[in-house]
């Protein structure tokens, strides 16, 4: 019986198929494009349980309404394959559960696989993915801790642990795990990503820039999500330092264009353009190009976190599809899967209404709608850094509606973990001036000037 690169038994014996299975499992963990090789292998070997299960999984990761249809034939072939091992059968069941919309079932099976087959790291990754999309950070950590000790020699294991720790706000553990992963393999982009989260959360902006710029040279052969997302993280640091021209260059060179059809690339572009506009940067006609590639998303409600950014991008570009998407959303929430229906109704729908209102300059509606959703925003998925966008939108509307006392509280809370942020201090200077506190306004403006002068001297 053949084994995969992690030591798991395979019913497949064909060496080409085994290599493609390895390409997928390692490519999934490393975010490398070679993961896609399994689709051709599944076509060439329709009797392989694992190749076809992985091919189905590859299509499910498209995160689109079409994904299930594309995955269907591969999943059916995997289920019909003869001689599948118990682990392979459990993998197929986990993919089937996801395909059927039973994400809680997929999570349950994923944890059972981790209990029984500790070296099945792709299933640990998949289980973390589902928990992440539900906003369940402890669930991400729980499945990682089941298998961490027996996989302590693998860089990918430490990367999986690092991000789970970070999402649980266990930042010291996250940094330790991320740095251990990078010690084992410098090219470990998921660990780079986890450490980027830690550094920006702790306000270590210069360190974050130096680190990400240094390891960016290893981001070759990555899929478009991981490539663009790590550059996106670097751009968050640039924004904090007021380096807006660097952000625009990175956007045009590394972020928008890798795969304009992919969900994560699209929402990364929306998020970054909005963040730039929130700090007063003119992004030109870039919204139009992004919206052009999202016009087919009007019935895409695969994940609330994605939908919220699709609808903003359409609304900001003035696309007529915005109205259709909002109407479709209202119809969808009543039939949303039971395990996420409450989040769709009470978090995502009002947040989408707020985002459309913000794009159209209706800031009172933003304060009312986003204000009601923000306390539960974790339920729509995404990371802390990604969801911070929605708090920034609320803050912008709070300022624009003259609620300066509230804005002062929000901004000083943000300054607690990012004391030298140029955007935050710029806004504080404006808010303190409006509150009749010129001394505090001057102090905030002095912080901005100091950071910008340091940046200029460093170039």
Q: What per-residue confidence (pLDDT) applies to 455? A: 72
- At 322 the pLDDT is 98
Give me the pLDDT at residue 1, please: 77
Q: Is the pLDDT of residue 280 over 70?
A: yes
Check residue 454 and give its pLDDT: 84
| Average of per-residue pLDDT across 380-406 | 98
pLDDT of residue 459: 56
pTM of the model: 0.96
- Delimit the CATH 1.25.40 region(s) of the chain: 1-151
Q: What is the mean pLDDT of the chain?
A: 97
Burial track 312-331 (b if 16+ CB lie within 10 A, e otherwise): bbbbbbebebbeebbebbee
Q: Tens of pLDDT along 202-229?
A: 999 999 999 999 999 999 999 999 999 9
Residue 449 reports pLDDT greater than 60: yes
Contact 9, 26 (CB under 8 A): no
For residue 458, what pLDDT band results from cuts at 50, 70 and 90?
A: low
pLDDT tens digits along 75-96: 999 999 999 999 999 999 999 9
Specify the CATH number of the domain 1-151.
Answer: 1.25.40
Q: Which two tokens stand for residue 194?
A: 């986890």
pLDDT at site 361: 98
- pLDDT tens per residue, range 351-361: 999 999 999 99
How do the residues of the chain divide into helix, strand and coil, expressed in percent and rounded to 5? Answer: 75, 0, 25
Report the SS3 class of residue 2: strand
Which of 142-156, 294-308, 444-458 shows the lowest mean pLDDT across its residues? 444-458
């Amino acid at each position: 019986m053949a084994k995969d690169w992690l030591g798991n038994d395979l019913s497949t014996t064909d060496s080409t198929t085994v290599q493609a299975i390895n390409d997928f499992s390692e490519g999934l963990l490393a975010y490398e494009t070679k993961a896609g090789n399994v689709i051709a292998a599944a076509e060439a070997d329709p009797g392989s349980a694992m190749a076809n299960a992985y091919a189905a999984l590859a299509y499910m990761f498209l995160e689109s309404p079409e994904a299930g249809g594309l995955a269907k034939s591969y999943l059916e072939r995997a289920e019909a394959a003869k001689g599948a091992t118990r682990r392979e059968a459990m993998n197929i069941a986990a993919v089937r559960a996801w395909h059927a919309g039973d994400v809680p079932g997929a999570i349950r099976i994923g944890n059972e696989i981790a209990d029984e087959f500790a070296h099945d790291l792709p299933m640990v990754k998949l289980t973390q993915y589902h928990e992440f999309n539900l906003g369940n950070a402890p669930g991400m950590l729980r499945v990682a801790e089941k298998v961490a000790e027996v996989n302590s020699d693998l860089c990918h294991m430490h990367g999986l642990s690092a991000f789970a720790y970070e999402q649980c706000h266990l930042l010291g553990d996250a940094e330790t795990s991320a740095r251990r992963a990078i010690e084992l393999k410098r090219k470990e982009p998921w660990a780079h990503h986890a450490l980027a989260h830690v550094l920006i959360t702790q306000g270590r902006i210069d360190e974050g820039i130096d680190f990400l710029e240094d390891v960016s040279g290893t981001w070759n052969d990555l899929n478009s999500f991981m490539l663009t997302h790590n550059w996106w993280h670097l751009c968050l640091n640039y924004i904090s330092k007021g380096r807006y021209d660097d952000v625009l260059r990175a956007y045009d060179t590394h972020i928008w264009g890798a795969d304009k059809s992919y969900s994560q690339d699209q929402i990364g572009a929306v998020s970054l353009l909005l963040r730039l506009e929130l700090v007063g940067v003119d992004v030109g006609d870039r919204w139009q190009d992004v919206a052009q590639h999202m016009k087919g998303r009007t019935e895409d409600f695969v994940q609330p976190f994605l939908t919220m950014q699709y609808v903003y991008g359409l609304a900001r570009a003035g696309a007529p599809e915005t109205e259709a998407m909002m109407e479709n959303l209202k119809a969808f929430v009543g039939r949303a899967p039971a395990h996420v229906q409450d989040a769709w109704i009470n978090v995502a729908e009002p947040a989408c209404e707020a985002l459309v209102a913000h794009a159209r300059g209706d800031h009172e509606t933003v304060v009312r709608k986003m204000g009601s959703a923000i306390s539960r925003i974790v339920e729509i998925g995404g990371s802390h850094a990604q969801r911070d966008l929605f708090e920034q939108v609320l803050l912008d509307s709070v300022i624009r509606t003259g609620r300066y006392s509230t804005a002062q509280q929000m901004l000083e809370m943000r300054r607690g973990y990012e004391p030298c942020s140029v955007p935050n201090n710029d806004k504080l200077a404006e808010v303190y001036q409006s509150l009749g506190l010129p001394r505090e306004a001057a102090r905030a403006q002095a912080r901005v000037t100091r950071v910008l002068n340091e940046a200029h001297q460093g170039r």
